[in-house]
Amino acid sequence: MWNKQKSVVIIFILILLVTGQQNDNQNNFNKKHQHHKKFKVFKNTYSKVYESKEVEQFRFATFVENLKEIDRLNAEVTTAQFDISFFSDFTKEEFLNLFTGAHKPAMSDQDQLQNNNNSNNQNDQSNNQKSSDKSNQNEQKQIEESIPSSWDIRTDGPGLLQPVENQGQCGSCWAFSTSGAVESYYSAKKNITLNLSKQQLVDCVYDHGGCDGGWFNDAFKYIQSVGIVLNATYYPYINKDQTEPCQLSKLPKGTSFYQIQGYKKLENDTSVIKQAIMQNGALSIAVDATYWANYKSGIFTQKEKPQINHAVTLIGWGSDYWLLRNSWGSSWGEQGYIKVTNTGYSGIFPQYTYSPIK
Ligand SMILES: *[C@@H]1O[C@H](CO)[C@@H](O)[C@H](O)[C@H]1NC(C)=O
Ligand SMILES: *[C@@H]1O[C@H](CO)[C@@H](O)[C@H](O)[C@H]1NC(C)=O
Ligand SMILES: *[C@@H]1O[C@H](CO)[C@@H](O)[C@H](O)[C@H]1NC(C)=O
Ligand SMILES: *[C@@H]1O[C@H](CO)[C@@H](O)[C@H](O)[C@H]1NC(C)=O
Ligand SMILES: *[C@@H]1O[C@H](CO)[C@@H](O)[C@H](O)[C@H]1NC(C)=O
């Protein structure tokens, strides 16, 4: 009797296990089918062609990992939407190596401030200087109160922004970030839009290997001392390191260059940064793009402490976000732009915000 009861229970449990297993199998089968369907659409959308069956298998597995991250981020970050993008068949490591490229040199912030000493005498500096003087404090307060609750250079100026560009598989974000700020600055002051040569920065700022990454100071100093080709048509972007480095000697005679008088690293202060945007246009800024690959829209935030790996331009703000212009083409994010939260971990580093000076 006792034994019989026991075996009935065991059989019952076995039945439950088998049905559970069958459901799991069915679910796994459905999921896998869904993944294959999505992968097919993805390959079509982004014209992905793989050189072998093995590569395709690896890319499919990586794509499934990206789908998991998309689900996780959509659940965690309720203010933003994530979806399949051009980057969805790259591992996180590949993505960061191939499409970002901000490498902060191992020197102290103090060193960096001194490097930017050339700009210290410039008059642009004046309204960014905080003073302990009482009347100046009042003035500062008035300025802060007069800052609008939202701003977008695309609609509010100053000047015009160039269409979003695509750095491709080259860690040249630093070149796009700095030249983008210079283009915006020029447009703000002269009301003329430029397309400066990013490739020149990639080839000439460092001995070679600008696709391996770079940093703001080096690019701005170069534009200050050598100048940057005014019209990128004469030194076009090829999204890789040239086989031969810097091509300046091969440019046609009379090619025009644009030189800045200096640059400055802004104070880590929200109202200073906002005023600089309203007056001088886009700023160069360091960010953490680790979780940006599949960003689609909305206000991005992350729970992980940010690390610097990418550079973009800062072009505005809203009551609860900063507005950034990226260099991954206009099909990524909000037509090439991203909003990040202005509280908590946004992935931006306002202490690494730079502006050119002319
Ligand atoms: C900046 O440069 C000037 C002269 O070139 C020098 O007197 C001054 O000490 C420098 N300031 C810093 C912070 O390095
Ligand atoms: C800037 O130039 C555009 C045309 O390129 C013109 O419509 C606009 O009025 C100009 N703005 C200023 C402030 O001169
Ligand atoms: C750049 O140069 C090309 C070729 O001369 C010309 O067609 C184009 O209008 C120039 N672009 C700008 C922004 O001046
Ligand atoms: C700037 O010039 C490059 C050529 O290097 C071209 O590919 C790109 O589309 C131009 N960008 C804009 C905004 O006109
Ligand atoms: C920059 O400012 C923010 C906001 O005041 C602050 O939380 C952060 O610690 C500052 N970072 C640095 C490096 O000073």
- Give pLDDT tens digits for 275-287: 999 999 999 999 9
Per the listing, tokens 């500062």 go with 140
* Structural domains of the chain, ranges and CATH numbers in brackets: 2-97 (1.10.287.2250), 100-357 (3.90.70.10)
pLDDT reported for residue 43:
98
Give me the long-range contacts of 68-76 (CB less than 8 A, separation at least 24). 69/291, 69/294, 70/294, 73/291, 73/294, 76/303
Provide the β-strand partners of residue 166: 328
Please indicate whether residue 243 or residue 344 has the higher confidence score (pLDDT). Answer: 344
In tens, the pLDDT along 190-220 reads 989 999 999 999 999 997 789 999 999 999 9
Quick one: average pLDDT of 14-27?
66
Query: Which ligand is closest in space to the CA of residue 159?
Result: 2
Ligand 1 center from residue 111 Cα (angstroms): 12
- Smallest CA-to-CA distance from 225 within 259, 174, 183 is with 259
pLDDT reported for residue 257:
96
In tens, the pLDDT along 148-186 reads 999 999 999 999 999 999 999 999 999 999 999 999 999
| Nearest atom (ligand 4) to Cα of 199 | 5
Tokens of 157: 């100026």
Least confident of 11-15, 73-77, 346-350: 11-15
Of all protein residues, the one whose alpha carbon is nearest to atom 4 of ligand 4 is 236
Residue in 182, 237, 325 to alter for ligand 4 test, most ligand atoms within 8 A of Cβ: 237
> Catalytic residue at 35?
no
> Catalytic residue at 204?
no
170, 173, 204, 246: the catalytic one is 173
Of all protein residues, the one whose alpha carbon is nearest to atom 8 of ligand 1 is 117
Least confident of 27-36, 102-111, 240-249, 320-329: 102-111
- Smallest CA-to-CA distance from 334 within 307, 304, 295 is with 295
Per the listing, tokens 């009482």 go with 134
Ligand 4 center from residue 27 Cα (angstroms): 48
pTM across the whole model: 0.85
Contacts of 271 (CB under 8 A, 6+ apart): 140, 143, 144, 147
| Nearest atom (ligand 1) to Cα of 113 | 13
Confidence category of residue 20, pLDDT binned at 50, 70, 90 = low
